Amino acid sequence: MSPEVTEVNRAVVSGSVKKMSHVVKKRKLDKNRQDRLYFNSYTDVTIHEEMIADYQRTNTYRTAILRNTELIRGKVVLDVGAGTGVLSIFCAQAGAKKVYAVEACSIAEQAARIVRQNNLQDRVEVIRGTLETAELPEQVDVIVSEWMGYALLHESMLNSVLYARDKWLKPGGLILPNRAELFIAPINDPVVEDRLNFWYTVEEQYGVDMSCMSNFAQRCIMNSEITMNTVSGQDVLSHPARFAELDLHTVTVEELRSVRGPFRCEAFGSASLSAFCVFFTVTFPCPDNKPLVLSTSPFMPETHWKQAVLYLDAPVEVVQDTLVEGEICLFPSEESSRHVCIHVDFTIGEEKKQGKTFSISDWSAEAQS
């Protein structure tokens, strides 16, 4: 979850695509400053309330942990980025002998209180500090972590999970979740259509022709920010295309610096293509059942991650079977390595190839204001 963009989300009113702009020139933040701003963003109760209240998220983790009881009972577990400690407690309830709940921000104090309130202090140990600096007294059998950010990779928390895997996980150990997949699909955004059309309706209402505002509105709305919106399945214009898969047992930090893949979609019918949406799934292995999947697809129940919406510069009309293809790449921002950028090269039907780079509002402006 990405609390540093909470204000951006609050600016998205009733599904609109209102954007926030920054007048401060960005400069690259040093890593310590980036980390401090990131961890501080988790000190407020609001973000933890939002995550715990996300039933799809929290219950999927609980179910996955309980289905792995045979692999967790009597074993040592490491919870990376434990937050309030709810996943650690799930693991203790599944029979873990010991759980190390590592959390860098001050919410660790609340996690320790929650652990005591559930009488699990003999098995769940809350460790305040970053995973990279934490010292554990033993290797672990299981790593559990809710590391996913917007568009999967925002926040770069997966890097810490991989560090934990390489340093603390026993060979053949369990990782929950152990696989992630990224998808892209072209969409129509009816709210954008209504907002662009609004300027053509002013004359009828007030007697003033303001249609010339439409181009300006288009530049403002269909800009280069990654917008976190809830996309309705009925606004998705093709079958989603999977463009990347990450195996948490083998993926490296180096590979996370450029997560890319091709995509190819065919339009369902006539519509105005105004954006792409990017979403992800993560998969939990279950020994006696088929794998359990947590999905942020527009066709599945809503989660707090919503979908990452990438607006074209201008809408493009498509018809049945119009080919939409290209390549997409996720990579860290130069200003702050914890923030994801997305570049998409794409061709829509007979249109010429285009490319656009998107970024998410980050701490840089906040840090310099």
Q: Report, as residue numbers or ranges, the catalytic residues.
A: 146, 155
| 323-332/259-266 β-pairing | antiparallel
Amino acid at 327: E
How many Å apart are CA 247 and CA 18, to the nearest integer? Answer: 36
Instruction: Please work out, in degrees rounded to the nearest 5, the angle formed at the alpha carbon of residue 325 by the alpha carbons of 307 and 149.
Output: 25
Q: Which helix (H) or strand (E) holds 243?
A: strand 241-247
Give the separation between CA 250 and CA 244, rounded to whole angstroms. 14
* Bridge pairing between strands 98-103 and 124-128: parallel
Structure tokens at 31: 């890593």
Q: Do the beta carbons of residue 108 and residue 174 sit within 8 Å? A: no
Distances from the Cα of 254 to the Cαs of 86, 250, 257, 355, in angstroms?
A: 30, 12, 6, 24
| Cα–Cα distance for residue pair 335/190, rounded to 1 Å | 33
- List, in sequence order, the alpha helices (H) in the chain: 6-11, 31-40, 45-53, 55-67, 69-72, 86-93, 107-117, 158-168, 190-206, 213-221, 253-256, 363-368
- In what side-by-side order are the strands of the sheet with 140-144? 124-128, 98-103, 76-80, 140-144, 169-176
Instruction: Select from 288, 164, 274 the least CA-distant residue to 223.
Output: 274
DSSP state of 231: P
Tokens representing 128 are 């305040």
| CA–CA distance, 22 with 20 (Å, rounded to integer) | 7
For the chain, the distance separating the N- and C-terminal CA atoms, rounded to the nearest angstrom, is 24
